Chains A and B, each alone.
Chain A
Amino acid sequence: GNSVTQMEGPVTLSEEAFLTINCTYTATGYPSLFWYVQYPGEGLQLLLKATKADDKGSNKGFEATYRKETTSFHLEKGSVQVSDSAVYFCALSARRRALTFGSGTRLQVQP
């Protein structure tokens, strides 16, 4: 079956530090890949997505590249801000049925 594995958190960084959150997946076929962000007490917001190999999704300074050879979709940001503190979920979608999520990674950015 499909599965998503994310690095465990929390990840604690100082403001303006470089961020990487690792995500690897297992799936048959060619899934679409997503990063969602969840702020405390809220639902999930789509951060970025990629639908085929070598695609790069980007939004608000965040980037992730769909790497089929390593089955990865790592999230990166060059300079984090306190407002980026949230929980980040990697997810995949196969056959447009439903999303399979990783367990989430909490990011804490200190001023």
Chain B
Amino acid sequence: DGGITQSPKYLFRKEGQNVTLSCEQNLNHDAMYWYRQDPGQGLRLIYYSQIVNDFQKGDIAEGYSVSREKKESFPLTVTSAQKNPTAFYLCASRPGGGFTDTQYFGPGTRLTVL
């Protein structure tokens, strides 16, 4: 089955720790995105990558880092510099080229800071 997987589903972090959220897709999509969702709010863009070995900051990149070493993988690291990391994190991907803007989402990772 083609799709986007995120792991873990739930993640707990202590103050001062870095944690990495996994996002993998087997859809052969070129572009990948990370969004953050807070309760009662829409999604906000953290980082995105249009091609391998290239990525750009989104609207709320401070305290986060990413890498795109492989087409199918786009891990997100939440660093200790992120002041309020408790949120639901969603990864998405989109086919490159062509004219489709549709993004496909993974099931999400819920991060809680203890």
- Name A's B-contacting residues (CB within 8 A): 4, 32, 34, 36, 41-46, 49, 51, 89, 93, 96-99, 101-104
Contacts and interface: CB of A to CB of B under 8 A. Distances in A.
Contacts of B104: 46
B40 A103 contact: yes
Tell me which of B4, B33, B44, B102 has the highest count of chain A C-beta atoms within 10 A of its own C-beta.
B102
What class of interface size applies to chain B in its complex with A?
20 to 34
A30 to B, nearest CB: 11
- Give the top 9 A-B pairs by smallest Cβ distance, nearest first: A101-B42, A93-B101, A43-B105, A44-B105, A32-B101, A43-B107, A103-B42, A101-B43, A98-B45
Contacts of A34: 101-102
Contacts of A93: 101, 103
A34 B94 CA distance: 14
A45 B45 contact: no
Given A97-B48, A98-B33, A104 B90 contact: no
Interface in B57-100: 58, 90, 92, 94, 99
Interface of B: 4, 6, 31, 33, 35, 40-45, 48, 58, 90, 92, 94, 99, 101-108, 110
Contacts of A89: 42-43
A47 to B, nearest CB: 11
Contacts of A98: 33, 45, 48, 58
A42 B108 CA distance: 7
Nearest to A104: B42
A96 B101 contact: yes
B101 A51 contact: yes
